[in-house]
Amino acid sequence: MLKLLLKIWPAFIPIIVYIFWVYVVEGVVLKKFLKKEKIIEGEKIVGEKTTQKPAENPAEKAGKFSLKNRCFVTIVYMTLVLAILILIAMAF
């Protein structure tokens, strides 16, 4: 079992990169550089009927590791395809 895992570890690289992106890049780096808050709490913007923040991205609404998140599903499919290709290459 360990031999198999050692041979197909490159297939898990997309998931590892996605987890790195979610926690490090979006969580730490982008929040520090993009701290601009356009909507002030309790204040209305001219022409707007509400003070609530609009939903920016449906993927964020679904969760970062949800199957409703299109980016996460794409990463899972890439991982599965890479694992299959590596297993086929190991057979030859």
Q: What is the pLDDT along the chain (92 residues), one digit of tens a residue?
A: 888 888 888 888 999 999 998 888 888 877 777 766 565 566 655 666 665 555 565 555 678 888 888 999 999 999 999 999 998 998 87
Task: Report the alpha-carbon distance of residue 23 to residue 30 in Å, rounded.
Answer: 10
- Amino acid 10: pLDDT: 87
- Tell me, what's the pLDDT at 77? 94
Phi-psi region of 37 (alpha: psi -120 to 50; beta: other; left: phi over 0): beta
Whole-model pTM? 0.62
